[in-house]
Structure 1
């Protein structure tokens, strides 16, 4: 399934490694170093207005999202719930 993470970016949920609150970036040297290195490799997608609330780490790219961690978590959980539902659409015809 796919998750809309804001700024017209849609990613596959299976590629998500972590969703981190943006405020943790300044308190963690490991996160700062990871983002610094990925920026050098041009593997970071910034928000359009630099109003990031969350950092979405995928297998290939790091995205700064204007959506909160809570909102992204709800969207990811909604997708997993939808995956578990059975499809009865053929029976209705």
Structure 2
């Protein structure tokens, strides 16, 4: 199954490692998060699904990339729940 992240970008649900709130990912004084993000950005692995950074609400980490999505973590959670409920 696939999870839609906005602007015609979808990822396989089995490839998703984590979904974080964008502000919470950086606000907490966790230097590991900042270093990880900076390294992925330098390697060209950060993809933005919104036109403006002001619209980013969540970070979706997959095994290959980091996606910056304009869809809230709660909405993404509800979408994944709906995907898994369809399989039952």
TM-score (norm 2): 0.90
| Structure 2 residues without counterparts, runs of 5 or longer | none
What is the CA–CA distance in structure 1 between the aligned matches of 2:65 and 2:85, rounded to whole Å? 26
| 1:80 counterpart = 2:80 | no
| Structure 1 residues without counterparts, runs of 5 or longer | 85-93
Deviations 1:20-54 (A, max 9, x none): 00012232322111110001110000232211100
What is the CA–CA distance in structure 2 between the aligned matches of 1:60 and 1:76, rounded to whole Å? 19
Contact 1:6–1:67 under 8 Å retained in 2: yes
Alignment of 1:1-93 (within 5 A): 1-24=1-24, 25-27=26-28, 28-46=30-48, 47-50=50-53, 51-84=55-88
Runs (4+) of structure 1 exceeding 4 A deviation are none
TM-score (norm 1): 0.85
Number of residue pairs aligned between Structure 1 and Structure 2: 84
What is the Cα-based RMSD across aligned positions, in Å?
1.0
